[in-house]
Each structure stands twice: as C-alpha cells, then as structure tokens.
Amino acid sequence: MPVAVNRGCGAVVTSDAVDDDLALVDRLRAGDETAFVEVVRSYQARLMRLAQATVGSRAVAEEVCQDTWLAVFRGVERFEGRSSFKTWLFKVLLNRAHTTAARELRAGRSDDDVIERFDANGAWAEPPVPWSDRVDDALVAERLAHRVQDLLPALSELQRQVVVLHDVEGLDSTDVATLLGITEGNQRVLLHRGRAKLRECLAAELGMDR
Amino acid sequence: MRFWRRHSELVCRDAVALMTAYLDGELDDRDRTRLETHLADCPHCSEYLAQLRVTIDALGHVDIDELSDEALDDLVHLYRQWRAG
C-alpha cells in the first residue's frame, strides 16, 4: 500500500532547490541586502518556531534567532550546498540555541509519557474512540490544523524539536537525527511519542479523549 | 507452521510501535507485510493509524506566523550594522 504523508514544506531536495539555494547564497556572499530580506521573509518565523521548541521562552528564542542571523552573516562563506540551505540554517540555529540555553537531555525519558494502553497480552485495553472519519469535514480539518501548533508545548523539548523538524518543516529522518545529534532509532521513538501525544490532544479537542 | 505463525503475527502493542516507521516508508518488506496483515484484521489499530495520519496532516498545515514589518526592520538594521563592521 503506498504511504502518503503530508510533509509540510517538502522533504525532497531537488536539484532545482539546490540551484536556488546556491544562487541565493551567492547573493548573500556578495552582500545583496535584498537576498537577506528574502531569506528573512522565508525563514524568520520558522526559526522562531524551532527556537521556541528548543528554549521554551519567546524572549530567549528571539535572542537565539538574532544570534543565528549573526552567525549566518559570518558563516555563509562556509555553506557548501551539501545539505539544503534550510537544513544548514536550522543547524546554525540549534547550535546557537544549545549555547544560549543549557540543553535538557530528555532522550532517556521513557515510560512517563507512554499513552497507548495495552493489556498483558499486548492487545488494546482501551481501544481508541473512532473519530478520524469526522475529519473528512473540511471545517474540522481546518480547526485541527489551527490547534495543533498550540498543542506542541504538551511535548517534551526533544519531541517538539523532532516533530517540528520532521512533520512541520518536512526534513527527513536522517537530517533530523543529524541536526539534533541523536540516533535515527531515537529520532523515531521521539517522533512516535510526539505524534502519539498530539493525537491524544486532538482527540480531547474533539471530545474523544482516549 | 504454527510456531512460525505465532512469531510472525503482531499484537496491537507491536503494531502501534511500527506505525511511525510505516508512515515514513522506513519499514522493511517483512515488517510492512506483518503490519498490513494485522491492520486488515484489527479495526482499533486501523483507527489509530488513521488518527496518526490526521495528526501528521494537521502538522503539515501549521501556519507560518506573519513576519511583522518591525521585526523585518530590526533584522535589516542588524544586517547593516554587521556589514558596516
């Protein structure tokens, strides 16, 4: 069965995208202010979202973003196009965020947020209440898309980072694991727990909390 | 044969644990077949998978906040300061 998942901004880096990135970087290196404005318009809000997912506070996130742009000014000469510009930018931001705020390693967090409920034989003890068919209604789908961002604080820091990078920004698992300095297996566990927690929150939004 | 069936069939807990890799196309053929066989017989896991898909779809449609003129001006100012050395 083909598996189609919406990946936000698109996980595939095409050769056109790479060419566009390199052209943009050339303009940045040449000191083209309009290129900088383009980059800021495209990425500042995304950087803020990832920074907030990392450091929590909006004020600290703003500081991290400013530090990131300064690091980009200084470091753009070193961008080689091996990753997309977006991935490189996220890497710069995460480095700055980890410098600014001590990172709270929660990868080892295990059972406190396991929310599926099974009996001793591994069967559902409390099966999920059906609601997915209600989302065929466009209004409900729009409401969920609007709400899910507000629900991100329910996740742990690393879960938030993984979910934002993978499901909102559309980076692939390898890039997410590399950016966050975790294994791909750990990345998958964090992504699973983050999605499971958000699923539970959305169920509660629909009055179907299980 | 019975031994093989017992060890190749999934219980719901294991099926749920495979769903993220399944949704991201990262399961090998054997596990994908085991999961799809389980899903065909388990309405609860099928519903759970459908709800995960809805969740991921909602995340893919999260709006980007509008960048305010003031925030853009601040960053352009920062850029000019840096260029001026």
Q: How many CB pairs under 8 A join A and B?
A: 144
pLDDT attached to residue A173: 92
The pLDDT of residue A159 is: 93
| Structural domain range at position B80 | 2-84
B-chain CB neighbours of A145 within 8 Å are 57-58, 61-63
H or E stretch covering A126: none
Q: Where are the alpha helices (DSSP H) in B1-85?
A: 2-8, 12-23, 29-41, 43-60, 69-84
What CATH topology corresponds to A15-100? Answer: Rna Polymerase Sigma Factor; Chain: A (1.10.1740)
Cβ of A99: how many Cβ atoms within 10 Å?
Answer: 12
Token look-up 């769903």 returns: B19
- pLDDT tens readout for residues A129-186: 998 988 877 777 788 888 888 888 888 888 999 999 999 999 999 999 999 989 888 8
Predicted pLDDT of residue A138: 77
What residues does CATH 1.10.10.10 cover in chain A? 132-205
Q: How far is B73 from chain A (nearest CA, A)?
A: 9
Q: Does the pLDDT at position A3 exceed 80?
A: no
| Nearest beta carbon to residue A8 from set B22, B45, B59 | B59
Query: Using a CB-CB distance cutoff of 8 angstroms, which residues of chain B are in contact with residue A46?
Result: 64
Comparing CB atoms, the residue among B13, B52, B54 nearest residue A122 is B13
Q: Residue A124 forms beta bridges with which residues?
A: A118
Which option is the CATH number for A132-205: 2.120.10.30, 3.30.1220.10, 1.10.10.10, 1.20.120.420?
1.10.10.10
ipTM of the shown complex:
0.80
Task: Give the residue range(s) of CATH 1.10.1740.10 domains in chain A.
Answer: 15-100
Residues of chain A above pLDDT 90, percent: 32
In chain B, the number of structural domains is 1
Closest to B12 (Cβ–Cβ): which among A36, A124, A135?
A124
